[in-house]
Structure 1
Amino acid sequence: MADRFPPDTQGYAGRKTGGKRGRSSGKVADFRYKRPSQSNLPKAGPAGRQPSSPERAPRRQAYAALDLGTNNCRLLIARPEGENFTVIDAFSRVVRLGEGLAASGRLSDTAMDRALGALHVCAEKLRRRNVFLARSVATEACRRAANGEHFIERVRAETGIALDIISAQEEARLAVLGCHILLESGHGPAVIFDIGGGSTELVLIEPGERVPRIIDWASVPWGVVSLTDTVGRVEGDTEADRLDRYRRMRMLVSDSFAPFAERVAAAARADDIRLLGTSGTVTTLASLHLELPQYDRRAVDGLIVPSQSMRGITARLSTMAPEDRRQLPCIGNDRVDLVVAGCAILDSILDIWPAERLGVADRGIREGILRSLMAGSPAPSGDQ
């Protein structure tokens, strides 16, 4: 099991992009959790840096990782257990923070209120569990929104949670750190991907002794929410209408993936290529593959699925009417209007990285945060 960061090689150190969306992040946003008050809130420096990390805690102390995404708010609280950890509390809620963001460029008041409701629950859990160190991150929705920073300050004032708007590079790195242990064994190159609500990250890696070596990476602004909102939520009355909508999704995603696809084309032709995905999309499709009556993490996390089976499921869902999808186990109301976009993204990934099998991970950013906190390395140093 990994207990340190993947090395910052060929992709994380030197690929800066201009503008808010592509900014790098080196902030350390871990802190001893306290109730929000003017006296207790950490003082931010010129670049928003929190005070330096305190000394390492006793090994049985509780640590926490909070991930506020475009669609979900998720929290894990755990204690170290050798090279692993034991989860002692968890929370997940669909908050749809990025709802309407594609059209307005802003987080709506309703969406922010939903997210704050979930974050108040998280704050209470952090207090009750007497968490020693926590790192709380926000991803694509807050990166893109014109009022993202304002929302972060509101969260801090109302809940005491210091959210760090992490860069796409950091998001990809944490996802790799959190789930790479589930990568199918082999000696060939591999791609790990994370389909989020507002973006998708892909990382090309080589196997390493403790952690994989990162060779290349990409992040595109298409997740299940942003892609659905951009193409439009009206799916059409006929199968032909729905298929046309799906093709438009595929075209948008494939165009964005094109530079990465070109860079990894030679590696994709190697023997023994492997693929691992972490997202609600892949866990949902894996559940359908297993024909589970309800979601079971123990059956899904670490599962290896033939890629053609996943292709068959995406083809089926892409033309199915919403009311029919709603009846399928493990989809339900929360994902019925978003799963098709996830299928389009997955199909596009399989186009550029045609592995015969797909590994499924029900773990990612939060687990990556916990491993780095417990190893005493809460965040990478570097670009501000």
Structure 2
Amino acid sequence: MADTFPPDRNTRAGHTRGDKSGKVADFRYKRPAQPERRNGKGPLADASNGGPGKRGWDAPANGDQRYHQAYAALDLGTNNCRLLIARPSGEHFTVIDAFSRVVRLGEGLAQSGRLSDEAMERAMGALHICAEKLRRRNVRLARSVATEACRRAVNGAEFIDRVRRETGLVLDIISAEEEARLAVLGCHILLEEGEGPALIFDIGGGSTELVLVEPEGRVPRILDWQSVPWGVVSLTDTVGRVEGPRERRTAVYAEMRRVVSESFAPFAARIAGTARHAATKRLLGTSGTVTTLASLHLELPHYDRRAVDGLILPASAMRTVSARLAELSHDDRSKLPCIGSDRAELVVAGCAILESIMDVWPADRLGVADRGIREGILRSLIATDIAGEESRRALIERRPVQ
């Protein structure tokens, strides 16, 4: 459930400056333009996140101040802690503050079944910053969720209680099904134009969600889905790091591909007929893996969300980049732009998962989304709150005068 109010909601909103401990962004989501073909070497669609409902999020003529309130979405994943704070803006929303930090909450979880003390301390440091941002921005409504690491850990619920005591944040450990639904809600608008089902996927730190959708109306209909307990952290911790001599790196990567493919097999069997008969196969991915690989394909000197979010590129290009990364040593990977030491250890597991997904749904092109669960939460929060307020106002207006 949503946090009814952020911590210390009576605190006055303050001016927020860029924080060295996280990334602060101020940008507007816009409806995507029609793709402009650039030989797979440039962004083919603008960033977008349209709102649900017949009226969208258009502000009413009476100037309801609720449309100027801030809403927040916090996603504590197995590898990252991410926060977005936004205000409604027509049918879209404008992000006024954001934070992202690698916390590696699920580090060692595959072996111990527990969240380690060190991992919890890293996460707590990031969550304290998020709580302070919520106070300073005077957020009206917030929803904070935790995913696979807290779902699997025997001390996950205990950690959630600690977070509430020390920060005031109420983390909701969501199911894999809810995680998949929110990811689709957050990024589906970036799907290529076309007919028939499409596959949307989210490669996380501790799990990967595959969702077969039928785009219709503002929100796609989910036809089938699967979540497997393999993300970049859990797969690396279980199979091993891709390091050492080249022969060993090749063997570890092959084992990653085998493990993931076996987990995807039931889903692949269920949708095999759909895949065979689909005239065109649309594929859209949201994760650090796909945005990182897209950056490498574009040869960006540093990550640029504007160039990556909404990009549509040849699926073969992603396989080429994946194969290249799997062959490199850890040191060579860490020297590549947009990877660095933080991603060098985990990115190869993401490549193995991505290649297995492309085996399941062999599309010619792949869409890239730098958005997902948090955007899905924001869309749900804003639309539900505004719709509820309009319903309450309608009831009041119909009430007979006493």
TM-score, structure 1 length as denominator?
Answer: 0.85
**Alignment partner of 1:103 out of 107, 111, 122:** 111
Quick check: 1:191 aligned with 2:229? Answer: no
Quick check: 1:171 aligned with 2:182? Answer: no
Runs of 4+ in 1 over 6 A off after TM superposition: none
Amino acid at match of 1:166: I
**Alignment partner of 2:124 out of 110, 116, 122:** 116
Deviation at 1:159, TM superposition (A): 0.1
CA contact (8 A) 1:35 1:159 kept: no
- Identify unmatched segments of 5+ residues in structure 1: 1-27, 37-55, 379-384
Give me the whole-angstrom Cα distance separating, in 1, the residues matched to 2:7 and 2:72.
13
- 1:210-251: CA deviations, max 9, x gaps? 111110000000000000000122x34321110100010001
Deviation at 1:30, TM superposition (A): 2.5
Quick check: 1:263 aligned with 2:262? Answer: no
Structure-to-structure mapping, 1:192-207, within 5 angstroms: 192-207=200-215
Structure-to-structure mapping, 1:1-384, within 5 angstroms: 28-35=1-8, 58-233=66-241, 235-269=242-276, 270-376=278-384
Q: Secondary structure at the match of 2:114?
A: coil
How many residues align? The count is 331
CA contact (8 A) 1:32 1:133 kept: yes
Amino acid at match of 2:125: G
Work out which structure has the larger RCO, using CA pairs closer than 8 Å and 6 or more positions apart in sequence: 1
Q: Which position in structure 2 is the counterpart of 1:4? A: none
Compare the two structures and name the one with the higher helix fraction. Answer: 2
Give me the whole-angstrom Cα distance separating, in 2, the residues matched to 1:219 and 1:70.
15
Deviation at 1:57, TM superposition (A): 7.4
Amino acid at match of 2:5: R
- 1:291-328: CA deviations, max 9, x gaps? 00000000000000100000001111111100110111
Aligned-pair identity in percent equals 74
Amino acid at match of 1:34: P
How well do the aligned residues superpose, as a CA RMSD in angstroms?
Answer: 1.3
Give me the whole-angstrom Cα distance separating, in 1, the residues matched to 2:275 and 2:310.
22
Q: Secondary structure at the match of 1:258?
A: helix
Give me the whole-angstrom Cα distance separating, in 2, the residues matched to 1:377 and 1:365.
18
- 1:3-46: CA deviations, max 9, x gaps? xxxxxxxxxxxxxxxxxxxxxxxxx133111339xxxxxxxxxx
Give me the whole-angstrom Cα distance separating, in 1, the residues matched to 2:362 and 2:167.
45
Which has more radius of gyration?
Answer: 2
- 1:173-208: CA deviations, max 9, x gaps? 000000000001101210000000000000000110
- Identify unmatched segments of 5+ residues in structure 2: 10-63, 387-402
Deviation at 1:162, TM superposition (A): 0.1
Amino acid at match of 2:301: P
